[in-house]
Amino acid sequence: MKLQGKTCAEECWSHFGQITPRPTELRQCFEKKGDIIDNFTSCFKDNVNECTDSRSGPMIPRQNFENMFRHTEKTLRKSGNDAMQTALIAPLRKVWETTQAFYDCFKNCLREKNPGGVCLSKYGCQPKLPSEAHARDVVKVCMKGLDLKREGGAMCTCA
């Protein structure tokens, strides 16, 4: 799945040509910052504490992943669109719209590569997901380790 994600990102990256005349340089900067994403992912995994210790762990109720992803996407888009209404953030509207276009392309690419559904659905795996409140708390903890202003500024100046 990680390899598919990388392939889809490559296929969809051209969307960023809407916000910079040098999308390839932006991509290189983003790839150099890959450790930020890895660090955040590791922090989340280490702090969420939602794995069972053995095969005889608790039975996990079936999830409808498509609905879960759709709900998460709807919530994120609403939050972003609401933020774009403020005067301070409004200048970033084009960046937000471009990021959404990239995401839509990326999501559709992954769906095309997995016509039988994502691996969790295909193989009947059921992860023990954290509650929304717990996940939000863990995200806050992990975000504290990122200097988004510095990192974001570096991304803007490099492309």
Q: Is residue 137 part of a domain?
A: yes
Task: Please check the confidence at residue 27 and state whether its pLDDT lies above 90.
Answer: no
Q: Is residue 54 part of a domain?
A: no
H or E element that contains 38:
helix 34-48
pTM: 0.67
For residues 19-40, average pLDDT: 81
For residues 23-50, average pLDDT: 77
User: Mean pLDDT over all residues of the chain?
Assistant: 76
- pLDDT for 92-132, tens place per residue? 888 888 989 999 998 899 889 878 766 555 556 666 666 77
Q: Is residue 61 part of a domain?
A: no
CA distance 131 to 75: 15
Task: Please check the confidence at residue 20 and state whether its pLDDT lies above 80.
Answer: yes
Q: Is residue 88 part of a domain?
A: yes
Q: What is the pLDDT of residue 17?
A: 93
Q: Is residue 76 part of a domain?
A: yes
Q: Which domain holds residue 20?
A: 2-45+66-158
Q: Is residue 58 part of a domain?
A: no
- Give the count of alpha carbons within 13 A of 30, CB side only: 12
CA distance 106 to 103: 5
Task: Please check the confidence at residue 51 and state whether its pLDDT lies above 70.
Answer: no
Q: How many domains does the chain have?
A: 1
Q: Is residue 141 part of a domain?
A: yes
More confident residue, 97 or 63: 97
CA distance 110 to 113: 5
Percent of the chain at pLDDT exceeding 70: 67
Q: Is residue 50 part of a domain?
A: no
Task: Please check the confidence at residue 72 and state whether its pLDDT lies above 90.
Answer: no
